[in-house]
Structure 1
Amino acid sequence: MNFNPEIHERRSIRMVDYDYSSAGFYFVTICVQGRESLLGEIADGVITLNDAGRMVENSWLELPAKYPDMAIDEHVIMPNHFHGIIILQPPVVVGAPLAAPGYGKNGTTDQGAASSAPTLGDVIRAFKSISAINVNISLDRSGQPLWQRNYYERIIRNENELHNIRQYIRNNPAQWDDDNENPTNQRNSAP
């Protein structure tokens, strides 16, 4: 079948005209392909990661070494999805303020030189790729997608939102029985 942009156009779920390299806090959710429970099990509100889940966690924890202009915050690996907070920061120049003037759209500076700051998409792409490679090798399922094509993000706008999202992440395993991502609930909710 030939590509037809009117039929095959991929619709972005990102905010139009938002600079995803902007300094800030971002809440992300990434789902396993087909919502398959590959990463662990939850019993009595506690997640127990299997080898694949531990590989995903290691991939998450190693992100700041790959991208020095970002940090990670609260996260949880669920059996079939992942929640985490990513903090993007402007590049720090010796003697310059932390939020250097002119740092802005498309990662450029006042002088027009590209910055080294990653976009949120860069960070997610690296995380998904590295974790998928490691998990697929471990599970002997080379070439199969681990993650769904896209991801969900929310720009965290203030301290109250950050606090609430951190609480949501921490409490997520305890809420598994009622979670929409729980395959048991998806089967029970079918018409």
Structure 2
Amino acid sequence: MEYWRKSIRLDGWDYRFPSFYFITICTKDRIHYFGEIRDGVMGLTEQGCAAWYFWDQIPDHFDNVKLDAFVVMPNHVHGIIQIIPNENGSHSVGTLHATSLQNTGLNNRMSEISPKPKSLSAAVRSYKSAVTRWCNAKNYEFSWQSRFYDHIIRSQKSLDNIRLYIEMNPRNWESDQEHSINSQF
């Protein structure tokens, strides 16, 4: 029996398309690897510093990405990623080639579910991988939740509200713990 998880991405949306995206990535089992909040201020562990550092490195690896507001919380990160058009004003469209699986249904399925080059999912996968590799190299116990949450930001008002939410997140941590971190959008 084949089992494929349904994607939580917006059906029909090309995540290589220029837009602002609000991202939340959680640690596995929401373990507090990244530090703790005291009096509304986030104190980072070394893993939290790595999470911050590697987020800042994303544009060095993805020339179609600009970063906006970002915060590291004890068990998750929130950030805004902007996918920008290339120099001629269009967005990048890449293809994946799975040569060892050519002409098979599995090849088609893997192409469908794999992150496309220069896509939001490719950037997030690269980020998660960099943090995980760093933690493993330092012998820290660490693991991400397998998926991530995204919200396509469609207006300036929404962008402003999300920026404020990210900025205020450490100060609102105590009251926010009782609610889903994604419930406000």
1:77 maps to 72
- Give the TM-score, by structure 1 length: 0.77
Indicate yes or no: 2:99 matched with 1:121. Answer: no
Which stretches of structure 1, 4 residues or more, deviate above 6 A after TM superposition? none
1:9 maps to 4
Whether the 8 Å CA contact 1:24–1:155 is kept in 2: the answer is: yes
Counterpart-to-counterpart distance in 2, 1:54 and 1:146: 15
Match of 2:83 among 55, 73, 88: 88
- Give the TM-score, by structure 2 length: 0.80
Counterpart-to-counterpart distance in 1, 2:59 and 2:143: 22
Structure 1 segments unaligned to the other structure (5+ residues) = 94-98, 109-115, 183-191
- Residues 171 and 140 of structure 1, relative CA distance in 2, 3 Å threshold: closer
The CA RMSD over aligned residues, in Å, is 2.0
1:169 maps to 166
Counterpart-to-counterpart distance in 2, 1:148 and 1:121: 14
- Size of the aligned set, in residue pairs, is 159
Q: SS in structure 1 opposite 2:32?
A: coil
Counterpart-to-counterpart distance in 2, 1:54 and 1:91: 31
Q: SS in structure 1 opposite 2:13?
A: coil
Shift of residue 180, structure 1, vs aligned partner: 3.1
Amino acid at match of 1:122: A
Shift of residue 91, structure 1, vs aligned partner: 1.2
Structure 2 segments unaligned to the other structure (5+ residues) = 96-115, 180-185
Counterpart-to-counterpart distance in 1, 2:155 and 2:47: 34
2:109 maps to none
